[in-house]
Chains A and B, each alone.
Chain A
């Protein structure tokens, strides 16, 4: 055995812990910029990859923005959603008073408006165009009408419908009318849209993973001999992985930026005909704006996460296959 029984590692003066930690961060920073430099050396292929990633990311992000707009419009409609209570013809004014008081006490209701039979008739004459014909009637055929406005926390179509069913059973109420069928349809369409976007997002996320994974796989293959040398002189897997993970980060980042630009351009294009629509309907709804700060950040961070994940999968898969022989 060796004369001084020393282990081989004793010969080597290892860097101390502080140096190791400091070097670790410096090396990370170096790889961070080194990989950016690598990408800028091949601007065309970097642009192509980033653009394909951007398009794949822009599609779900853009659809989501549109869905949000429709959803906001839908919830605005629920807020103006009211229940019309047609009262029985023979209701006394005392009963009417009691009913109004009862409704006002219910927590689900914020406002009750009374339209008496005469007002109803006047309004009908005005709007229906039957004005003269109606004067020929001896009796006013219209009942008293109470317009009930549900409070905000009961504005969900299902809850409004329940409320309407309850009100229908109150004494003195002949008919409760609630036109929310179209609203329910809208909401179920929105639900379908949400699910659809989820599916599309899932598929496109896989596409992004595949694009990045394959790009990284090619990058690894191009550096095969370098990786072999690194392994032979004592490079750990994490050291060898590092530049490829940063490459994935950069692809994700660039793809995310492209996606944000694409979505904002598309939203701008769509917002112009929407503006016309809003003027025609004199509504504040369908207000399309560029993506919010948080949404931008969400798109960018999910792009970066996908980039890192794609790179990690590729590196994990590929590095096992590259061993010195």
Chain B
């Protein structure tokens, strides 16, 4: 699903943000991307979401080589991935429902289909009762769940998250991670950038470790506690 082949990314006047990165996240897999700040986690996610382009090498998403995606095709590519941000990136003058509906409206779904899917997405993150609220009235953890609902409402094959629990306390963070696990179990490929080692260790998933733009290790942590299905429900 996500394949990096000898990917380099240079910013003018700076050190290499990514240097010769190779890895492959399979379809249906859930993986963590970790490393200190400045290690290149965000840059890597930006390459996948085509916010940035690789200086050299191939980034292949699904079966598409992103080098061959034109500027005009970028929006259509992004519709197939759900992106989740540390600061939620919600529209504060629209209701929870309208926020989650946005990707569907962009894709041109009918009103009937939109409300059906939005309710299903909100239900899956346990926020259906807040559909008419403005995001500002919700807690941080709830706002992030709205962000997740918006990311999954289009039924994307790939979920990307950049420090999704960065502003949340440990309990809420576990809850959010539980949500990701559940989407992963129904076949969504998930890649989460995070530096919260404790939390990652609890998840028993593959960890891609970056340091100074280089991939230093890929491993499954053996002594992890598996997160039970029921825990977040």
- The residues of A with any CB-CB pair to B shorter than 8 Å are 1-9, 11-15, 19-20, 22-24, 26-27, 225-226, 228-237, 239, 323-325
**Nearest 8 Cβ contacts at the A-B interface:** A2-B27, A234-B79, A8-B62, A234-B78, A8-B157, A11-B157, A23-B108, A236-B75
- The residues of B with any CB-CB pair to A shorter than 8 Å are 1, 26-28, 49, 51, 61-64, 72, 75-81, 83, 89-91, 102-103, 105-111, 113, 150, 154-158
> How distant is the Cα of A266 from the Cα of B80 in the complex, in angstroms?
58
Residues of B close to A226: CB separation below 8 A: 91
- Which of A14, A23, A325 interacts with B110 by CB under 8 Å? A23
User: CB distance A234 to B107 under 8 Å?
Assistant: yes
Q: Closest residue of chain B to A229, judged by CB?
A: B89
Contacts A15-B113, A226-B91, A325-B51 given; does A235 touch B106 at CB 8 Å: yes
Residues of B close to A237: CB separation below 8 A: 75
CB of B105 to closest CB in A, whole Å: 7
User: CB distance B51 to A235 under 8 Å?
Assistant: no
Our count of residue pairs bridging A and B at CB distance below 8 angstroms stands at 103
CB of B160 to closest CB in A, whole Å: 10
Q: Closest residue of chain A to B49, judged by CB?
A: A232
> How distant is the Cα of A36 from the Cα of B30 in the complex, in angstroms?
45
Contacts A9-B62, A15-B110, A325-B51 given; does A233 touch B83 at CB 8 Å: yes
Residues of A close to B76: CB separation below 8 A: 234, 236
User: CB distance B91 to A19 under 8 Å?
Assistant: no
Residues of A close to B108: CB separation below 8 A: 15, 19-20, 23-24, 27
User: CB distance B109 to A234 under 8 Å?
Assistant: no
> How distant is the Cα of A42 from the Cα of B113 in the complex, in angstroms?
33
Residues of A close to B72: CB separation below 8 A: 236
Residues of A close to B89: CB separation below 8 A: 225, 228-229, 232
User: CB distance B62 to A27 under 8 Å?
Assistant: no
Q: Closest residue of chain B to A239, judged by CB?
A: B106
User: CB distance A19 to B113 under 8 Å?
Assistant: yes
- Which of A7, A23, A230, A232 interacts with B62 by CB under 8 Å? A7
29 residue pairs from A and B, CB less than 8 Å apart: A2-B27, A2-B62, A3-B26, A4-B27, A5-B63, A6-B27, A7-B62, A8-B64, A8-B80, A8-B81, A8-B157, A11-B80, A15-B109, A19-B109, A22-B110, A26-B111, A27-B108, A225-B89, A231-B75, A232-B49, A233-B78, A233-B102, A233-B106, A234-B76, A234-B79, A234-B154, A235-B106, A239-B106, A323-B51
